[in-house]
Amino acid sequence: KQEVTQIPAALSVPEGENLVLNCSFTDSAIYNLQWFRQDPGKGLTSLLLIQSSQREQTSGRLNASLDKSSGRSTLYIAASQPGDSATYLCAVDSNYQLIWGAGTKLIIKP
Amino acid sequence: EAGVAQSPRYKIIEKRQSVAFWCNPISGHATLYWYQQILGQGPKLLIQFQNNGVVDDSQLPKDRFSAERLKGVDSTLKIQPAKLEDSAVYLCASSFRGGRGTGELFFGEGSRLTVL
């Protein structure tokens, strides 16, 4: 059974720092992995989708990597800004089902 | 392009009452999902539709929850009777799903339910 874990549950860093969020999964047989952002009281916004055949995807200051063999994905945020404060969730597409992590709550201090 | 629309945004009811949530997905998206999200947790899939057929409703509490997707477009999620533990945000999402895999998901803003 696929399980997805995101550690840490919360992270607070000063503005301007580069940071990495982690997502691990137990079964390497995945079709894709998606990273989402959720602002308080809002729905989820898709940030990046990495197909299983890809190693990484980039969008602006965001870079997501995927290592299926080790069951890990990372979301790298460059030059963090207060507006990046949100909860970041990863979801693994496994057997036509999305299996979700609980998210990492990120706070960027001005 | 219009996003996923949900209503109402907020609802407060007494336990044992009923409530209904509505979702209009992005035009052309064949797949529609209803998720329940409890504070501090990831979303939990309640039901997934492909056009107007149910693909997965294995985690839907069928004794109190029901959902339908008429004509493969709009969808309604109903809870009757509500319990205290149903207090959560109900998220609707849609995807094009033109091939294998779920494809990119687009979410609505959610409907926050409080059961007193």
Taking the Cβ of residue A11 and every Cβ of chain B, the question of whether any pair is shorter than 8 Å is answered with no
Q: What is the pLDDT of residue B100?
A: 60
Indicate the average pLDDT of chain B.
Answer: 92
Restricting to B residues 72-101, those with a Cβ less than 8 Å away from any Cβ of A are 91, 93, 100-101
Q: What is the pLDDT of residue A1?
A: 87
Cβ distance B107 to A96 less than 8 Å, yes or no, reads: no
| b/e map B71-97, b = 16+ CB within 10 Å | eeeebebebeebeeebbbbbbbbbbeb
Residue B102 has pLDDT above 90, yes or no: no
Taking Cα atoms as reference points, which of B80, B68, B79 lies closest to residue B32? Answer: B68
Restricting to B residues 26-45, those with a Cβ less than 8 Å away from any Cβ of A are 40-45
Cβ distance A32 to B102 less than 8 Å, yes or no, reads: yes
Cβ distance B45 to A41 less than 8 Å, yes or no, reads: no
Residue B98 has pLDDT above 70, yes or no: no
HSE-up of B107 (CA within 13 Å, CB side)?
Answer: 23
**Main-chain dihedrals φ then ψ at residue A65, nearest 5 degrees:** -115, 155
Tens digits of per-residue pLDDT, A16-74? Answer: 999 999 999 999 999 999 999 999 888 899 999 999 999 999 999 999 999 999 999 99
What is the C-alpha separation between B57 and B62, in angstroms, rounded?
9
Q: What is the pLDDT of residue B101?
A: 67
> Confidence band (pLDDT; 50, 70, 90) for B71?
confident
**Main-chain dihedrals φ then ψ at residue A12, nearest 5 degrees:** -125, 125
Which two three-digit tokens encode residue A8? 């840490």
Taking Cα atoms as reference points, which of B31, B39, B34 lies closest to residue B22? Answer: B34
Q: What is the pLDDT of residue B51?
A: 86
Tens digits of per-residue pLDDT, A64-101? Answer: 999 999 999 999 999 999 999 999 999 999 877 889 99
- Most A CBs within 10 A among B7, B33, B34, B37, hence the mutation to make, goes to B37
User: Averaged over B99-114, what is the pLDDT?
Assistant: 85
Taking the Cβ of residue A104 and every Cβ of chain B, the question of whether any pair is shorter than 8 Å is answered with no
- Most B CBs within 10 A among A38, A42, A44, A50, hence the mutation to make, goes to A44
What is the C-alpha separation between B11 and A62, in angstroms, rounded?
35
Higher pLDDT, A95 or B107: B107
User: Averaged over B71-88, what is the pLDDT?
Assistant: 95
